Amino acid sequence: MGEQDSKPIIGITLGDINGVGPEVVMKALADNRVLNSLTPVIYGSTKTLSYYRKVLDLNDFNYSQVKPDSGIIRKKINVVNCWEDAVEVNTGKSTEVGGKCAYLALEKAVQDLRDNRIAGVVTAPINKSNIQNEDFKFPGHTEYFSARFEVNENLMFLVSEELRVGIVTGHIPISEVAGQVTADRIKSKLKIMEKSLIKDFAIKKPKIAVLGLNPHAGDGGLLGMEDEEVIAPVVKELKEQGKLVMGPYPADGFFGSYQHKKFDGVLAMYHDQGLIPFKTIAFNKGVNYTAGLPIVRTSPDHGTAYSLAGKGEADPGSIQDAIFAAATICKNRSELVN
């Protein structure tokens, strides 16, 4: 096998064609370092890419169309047409067509993941409202991929060079968080995180911090009993098993004193507890990784950003990091198997 043949083939879905997805994908792939590390396959439409190439004056962006009876071309940017009809692009607007196209790209990428045509996938942002249909009834990408690959438990894992944060409860109302923070769920998320740090990030003995649920981690029971009665016993049990798990830590002081730098991973109890510090520290650099899946899936840590669409102002940093992260994780998994 040649050096180029050993480089992972990474699929990239365009997301909502009216958002910044197409722009950041094209800008990210224009970097020569990408083709030196992997072979990219865009799931979307050559017509959509041609539209944005003209609008954004990205005339140097070149690609090869993958035809049904042909293989993926190494050292080239490949494009799989996921719809044949010419569709109208309405930059900055949520449309039914935008949602339909985003869904078709996802479905085709999943098919190619199942057929082992690609090693991993990077998903550009979707609009979680307009993508909803009879076959897509999910809060977001994470739940969609879990269902498609029949995984009951996964971990939303935000990763960057400075910080890796997973969350116990995901896209649910804050009023439901305390009831969802159970010992079994915390154990499950910690197990996925530890396994991912070992297998996907090549950290042999990961050190993990667990955040408390309540202010000041409950302050000895004055501000809620979950920290003492639910979280602390789980940490103690895992420590006794030889795991490097510590906590629960008060979230504000933990990040305020930069304690996150001492750990390989941090488990937050709910969405904003983990994502606010992560985006403060690593915005436009961070990657959203779905740990616990049999396949590799990453995405940027931002949304469709309709207000920036079509203006040439969108920063490709996060999706470029997501592309490199997917390739690195695929390589780490491959080396572990071999």
- Tell me the per-residue pLDDT of 266-285, one tens digit each, with 9 for 90 and over: 999 999 999 999 999 987 78
3-state secondary structure of 108: helix
Q: Is the pLDDT score of 95 beyond 70? A: yes
Name the CATH topology of 153-285. Answer: Isopropylmalate Dehydrogenase (3.40.718)
pLDDT of amino acid 336: 74
Q: How many CA atoms lie within 13 A of 139 on its CB side?
A: 8
pTM: 0.90
Q: What is the pLDDT of residues 37-76, one digit of tens each?
A: 999 999 999 999 999 999 999 989 999 999 866 789 999 9
Rounded Cα gap, residues 293 and 86, in angstroms: 34
Q: What is the pLDDT of residues 205-235, one digit of tens each?
A: 999 999 999 999 988 889 999 999 999 999 9
Using alpha carbons only, how large is the chain's radius of gyration in Å?
A: 20
Distances (CA, A) of 329 to 47, 294, 326: 31, 12, 5
249 Cβ neighbours under 8 A, 6+ residues apart: 209, 210, 211, 212, 217, 259
Residues of each domain in the chain carrying CATH 3.40.718.10: 1-151+293-338, 153-285
Rounded Cα gap, residues 248 and 199, in angstroms: 25
Rounded to the nearest angstrom, the gap between the alpha carbon of residue 61 and the centroid of all alpha carbons in its chain is 25
Instruction: Tell me the CATH architecture of domain 1-151+293-338.
Output: 3-Layer(aba) Sandwich (3.40)
pLDDT of amino acid 1: 41
3-state secondary structure of 52: helix
Neighbours of 252 (CB within 10 A): 13
Distances (CA, A) of 80 to 112, 181, 276: 10, 42, 35
Q: Is the pLDDT score of 31 beyond 50? A: yes
Rounded Cα gap, residues 325 and 283, in angstroms: 15
